[in-house]
Amino acid sequence: MRELVLAAKSGQCRILVGEKLANLPKYCGTGKIVIITDKSVSRLHSKDFPKEAEVVEIGLGEGAKTLEAVERIYRRFLSLELDRSAMVVGIGGGVVCDVAGFAASTYLRGLRLGLVPTTLLAQSDAAIGGKNGVNLDSYKNLIGTFRQPEFCLIDFAFLKTLPPQELASGFAEVIKHAAIGDQRLFAFLGKNSAALLSGDEGALEKAISDSVAVKVKVVQGDELESGQRMILNFGHTLGHAIEKTTRIRHGHAVAVGMAAAVQVSVSTGLLKRTEAGRMVSLIEKFGLPTKINFNCALVLDAIRKDKKRRGVEINMVLLSGIGKPVIQRISLDGIAGALKALDGA
């Protein structure tokens, strides 16, 4: 096991990479334990949950990230007569971690919180950093808080139950962290893609630990996303718009978004074509798309509603090299050009 510590204004989080779910109780203290999970995770793993814990199930997918779902959790908290000694533990993917974090950080103005991410996407990214929130209508994470959990327990055993496409999707976030902050991780991913996709625990521990280390460094320097934390949005400006309009997996949409970002990086003269080629090649090694069929007009409309837009421009994370992110304002026309180059139709 490797332990990293994320120390920020909203709290300190112990990130336990390679820890086992069986050891969860020792991190929870003596108060009541309430586990928030979804039906799928509960079906596969509830037999391994602490016997003394209360379990609250939410729905599956982005449709569960609503204020209505959070209200139902509040009412369950109320019926359990929780006080501030209680520990709320989110066990699930990014949606569960977001909802559990938001509910815990707002009930009684803040209950204790721990996270046990069960997908690679959540283990490498979504559960790390202290962002918690829910969607409003079809717009992602418009309502939320910044608050660090006390711990994030990363057990690789969960990954064995993931479908291959879901595992591959999670590697998009690992690739993102390598691209914006760790050239050695980028090289490691290129050399070990087969081992990682097959679930080799030694390779996973290194890749996830190094990926998390990139995010920890960025978040500690800018927890509230007032500046440098924006580099974590690499691939997400277009990725979120593509995900919203095509309904493909988050990681697959981010992969296409990263391919678009390097295309824009080349067109603006920031990035050499050879470096862009390395990026595209790595994405494809993990079975992720770099082109997709989509409606360009719908994607551009979604981007116009992005909170990072300023008039006819939007802040976009580009690369000047592997491990060298640059935040730059790009015109919507420039983004439209990149999208046309990535249309797989």
Catalytic entry in 26, 47, 51, 109? 109
Is 236 tagged catalytic?
A: yes
Task: Write the burial class of residue 169 (CB in 10 Å: 0-12 exposed, 13-18 middle, 19+ buried).
Answer: buried
The two three-digit tokens of residue 310, written as one number: 């300023």
Neighbours of 87 (CB within 10 A): 25
Catalytic entry in 233, 244, 252, 275? 233
Is 109 tagged catalytic?
A: yes
The SS3 assignment for 147 reads coil
Catalytic entry in 112, 147, 177, 236? 236
Catalytic entry in 32, 45, 131, 206? 131
AA letter at 301: D
Is 215 tagged catalytic?
A: yes
Task: Write the burial class of residue 218 (CB in 10 Å: 0-12 exposed, 13-18 middle, 19+ buried).
Answer: buried
Is 291 tagged catalytic?
A: no
Is 240 tagged catalytic?
A: yes
Is 229 tagged catalytic?
A: yes
Is 81 tagged catalytic?
A: no
Catalytic entry in 32, 215, 249, 252? 215
Catalytic entry in 65, 147, 177, 229? 229
Neighbours of 33 (CB within 10 A): 22
Is 45 tagged catalytic?
A: no
Catalytic entry in 150, 166, 205, 225? 225
Phi, psi of 320 (to 5 degrees): -100, -5
For residue 249, which of 318, 322, 172 has the smallest C-alpha distance?
172
Catalytic entry in 250, 252, 275, 285? 250
Per DSSP, the residues of 288-342 read --S-B---HHHHHHHHHT-TTEETTEEEEEEEEETTEEEEEEEEHHHHHHHHHHH
Q: What share of the chain is helix, strand, coil (3-state, %, to 5)?
A: 55, 20, 25
| Residues tagged active-site | 109, 131, 173, 215, 225, 229, 233, 236, 240, 250
